Structure 1
Amino acid sequence: MTALRREWLFSIVISIICVVLAFVDVAHIQGAPIGLHAKAVVTAADNTHVRQNLIVKTEEQLLAVQLLNGTHTGQELSVVNMLTGKMEFDEFYEQGDVILVEYGLVGGKPGNALARGHYRLRMQLVLIGLFALLLIAVAGVTGLKAMLSFVFAAMVLWKLYFPLLLRGYTPIGTGLGVVALLTAVITFSVGGLSRRGTATFIGSMMGVLLTCGLAIGFAQAFNLNGAVRPFAETLLYSGYYNLNLTGIFVASVFIASSGAVMDLAMDIAASMDEIKSKRPEISFVEHVRSGLRVGRAVIGTMTTTLLLAYSSSHIAMFLLFLAKGLPAANILNAPFVAAEVLNILVGSFGLVTVAPFTALVAGVLYRRIG
């Protein structure tokens, strides 16, 4: 079997796995009944029970909606929109808004309905489609494989890793297994079943393992209990008292950085593959040195990747600290800020070290060529 056929067969297998995972039901982990969902348009809004204090709204907003899809298309029902006073969770609706409704069946008819936010699923699909078209237009077959890897990663996290955590599996061990699976699929799908893909995989996993070890050590040194992530406490109160939040936090550090680690490893492996193809007679030492020179150039820009990615998601938090006039010592010593510092710096360790790891591995793998 030729290398091209092996790669296409590999892609077909991954596609089949994605389809199978898409039909896996993860909504009944605790056996709780899950309601039906449908797109609906708001035909009337009753705000008489809503209380407003400055910009914060609380209590109930009563809506009349008409279902636009699903089994009960065209039927009308009353919907309760609970306003908690937290703007990051609440949404306020007006007549004509299109929303997502969750409802049950009462005597065979829709009832007990709740509003689940403005309807965004259609535009999300549009955005995903545009992203896929851009990938394919720019990178061709490689872009198609990259999109397949993107879908596979999302499916594995959503349908495999998260449910396993809720069932009590160890976060770090399971996380390393999931990252190894994702890294293998992504690197071999994009890099091919070749020395380039193998070098990328091994180099990436060496960087991830280093990141994991450092995350474990510094999480203990920083006295972080893992409850620094949003919704962690809510998750415990939802019945999952035995979850290892610190382990989940550590796993989130190396999982979050694994994508950037793979990116850098692929850059180094691809460069060394190209060098070897142009100069088959190059020595092992010079080949590795060439890979390291490429790595130094890439690391110069990659070191700020995690800093910009993580800090930008907490802009409002930093603005609040500055508005309150808190000194830098107070800000940096806060547990949730310390967690982000750990996330950024420990993840960056993996980024910096993956370049020499991959260069050395690629040098060994290409040693016998030519």
Structure 2
Amino acid sequence: MSLQKILQSRNLLFLGLSMIVIGVLLMFPTGFENALQFKDAVKCKVEILEVDDSSIIDTGLIRTGQQVCKVRFLNGRFKNQYSEGWNMLGGSLSLDKVFHKGDYAQAVVHCDDSEIISVNLIDYYRLDGELFLALAFAVFLFVFARGIGIRSVLSFIITILVMWKIVVPLFLNGYNPILVGIIATAIMTFTILFLVYGFNKKLLSSFCGSMSGIFFAMVLSVICTKAFHIHGAVMANSEALLYSGFQDLNLTQIFMASICIGASGSVMDLSVDITSSVAEVVRNCPDITKRKAIKSGLAVARAAMGTMTTTLLLAYSGICIAMLMTFMAQGTPIYNILNNNIVSAEIINTIAGSFGLAVTAPLTAFISGILLTGQFNFTKA
């Protein structure tokens, strides 16, 4: 069998397995399907035809009251019918929205058989734009990377489904967040690397390197969270869970698990870079010794680590930019800023993830140098 046919059969195998996993995850129940309120309400897309802002009260930057809009239903059982929709303003810049003529909104219709009782305008309708972005992303990956691009899209979908269908429900059901985080991260890491490499030595070396860094980041996050007295309520929207019937949740352990999950992406990137580099060196120089292969991997690791740690810092700093601006505008001293619980939580996020990278780099280089040297066979390694 030629090399091209072997690769084609492997790609078809990966594609088939991925589609099976995606299908199973899509059908997998979360256990919270019946938690939805107002199940009989109809959700649909509407077009704003007219607006009446006479009941809106402006107080500085804050707007309260209600906005009455004439709308046309664009889908659902009331398609092409007209009605009045209500948009309630509660004085929150982050939650409120003010519609204008020509906007498209997401609406919840309360009805009695075929008669409309009320129409609540929930938010701007963004699903079309989000779908376009997702399709554009998938097309770009396919055009640029062909088969690997398709596998990347599949791994992206699987990761989303694992988080939504498995990790989040297990957290809500009170399972140990740290254990769930480690196992889920291991499953996602293995799946993604399997789609990239197939089942071979490169998968093994990259997976072992990734999990060593992820496990170290988890251990460090547990130690630092306890030492710094950080409560899991620093996570956005976490307190709302406690007041929604989930008062037994251990938010602090969920915060620790979130650090592990958040760092796994960068750790995986670094391990793949190092493993692929060592594999390419060995492919072009089959007689290279293990020592030299490890040194080549370490050289790549040192260069990659410098940017990857900065990537984590920039990612977490970008999330907190408004808070940092507030501190500066108020003239808050640096020692107060660094001692703030939210800032301390982000420092733990950044440092734990960076330590994970620091552990991943040399271990992946060492494992790759040991496993990939010798008689190199492209279809096996």
Q: Same fold, TM exceeding 0.5?
A: yes
Residue 5 of structure 1 aligns with an amino acid whose one-letter code is S
SS in 2 for 1:211: helix
CA distance in 2, matches of 1:324, 1:314: 16
1:209 aligns with 2:218: no
1:79 aligns with 2:82: no
Give the C-alpha shift of residue 244 in structure 1.
1.2
TM-score norm. by structure 2 comes to 0.91
- Counterpart of 2:250 (choices 220, 244, 249) is 244
- Counterpart of 2:202 (choices 196, 203, 217) is 196
CA distance in 2, matches of 1:38, 1:239: 29
Moved more, 68-77 or 120-129: 68-77
Deviation string, structure 1 residues 167-190 (Cα, Å, up to 9, x no partner): 222211111111111101111101
Give the C-alpha shift of residue 58 in structure 1.
1.7
Match of 2:14 in 1: 10
Give the C-alpha shift of residue 191 in structure 1.
2.1
Mind listing any 5+ residue stretches in structure 1 that lack a counterpart?
none
Match of 1:30 in 2: 35
Moved more, 61-70 or 175-184: 61-70
Moved more, 12-21 or 95-104: 12-21
TM-score norm. by structure 1 comes to 0.94
- Counterpart of 2:365 (choices 328, 352, 359) is 359
1:56 aligns with 2:62: yes
Residue 21 of structure 1 aligns with an amino acid whose one-letter code is L
Mind listing any 5+ residue stretches in structure 2 that lack a counterpart?
377-381
| Alpha carbons 1:7, 1:193 under 8 Å: kept | no
CA distance in 2, matches of 1:203, 1:111: 59
CA distance in 2, matches of 1:123, 1:23: 26
Give the C-alpha shift of residue 210 in structure 1.
0.5
CA distance in 2, matches of 1:21, 1:208: 24
Deviation string, structure 1 residues 238-294 (Cα, Å, up to 9, x no partner): 221111111111111111111111110000000111111122222222221211111
| Alpha carbons 1:18, 1:151 under 8 Å: kept | yes
Identity %: 36
Give the C-alpha shift of residue 66 in structure 1.
1.7
Match of 1:332 in 2: 338
Give the C-alpha shift of residue 29 in structure 1.
5.3
Deviation string, structure 1 residues 130-163 (Cα, Å, up to 9, x no partner): 1111111211211111111111111211222112
1:19 aligns with 2:23: yes
Distance 1:22 1:116, change over 3 A: farther
CA distance in 1, matches of 2:342, 2:239: 13
1:148 aligns with 2:164: no
CA distance in 2, matches of 1:66, 1:79: 10
CA distance in 2, matches of 1:19, 1:75: 36
Aligned residues: 370
Distance 1:166 1:112, change over 3 A: farther
Matches within 5 A, 1:1-370: 2=6, 4-24=8-28, 26=30, 28=33, 30=35, 32-34=37-39, 35-369=41-375
CA distance in 2, matches of 1:169, 1:44: 49
Moved more, 115-124 or 58-67: 58-67
Match of 2:379 in 1: none
| Alpha carbons 2:202, 2:372 under 8 Å: kept | no
| Alpha carbons 2:293, 2:373 under 8 Å: kept | no
Tell me the C-alpha RMSD between the 2 structures: 2.0
CA distance in 2, matches of 1:125, 1:53: 37
| Alpha carbons 1:261, 1:350 under 8 Å: kept | yes
SS in 2 for 1:227: helix
SS in 1 for 2:46: strand
| Alpha carbons 1:204, 1:262 under 8 Å: kept | yes
Moved more, 323-332 or 38-47: 38-47
Give the C-alpha shift of residue 59 in structure 1.
2.8
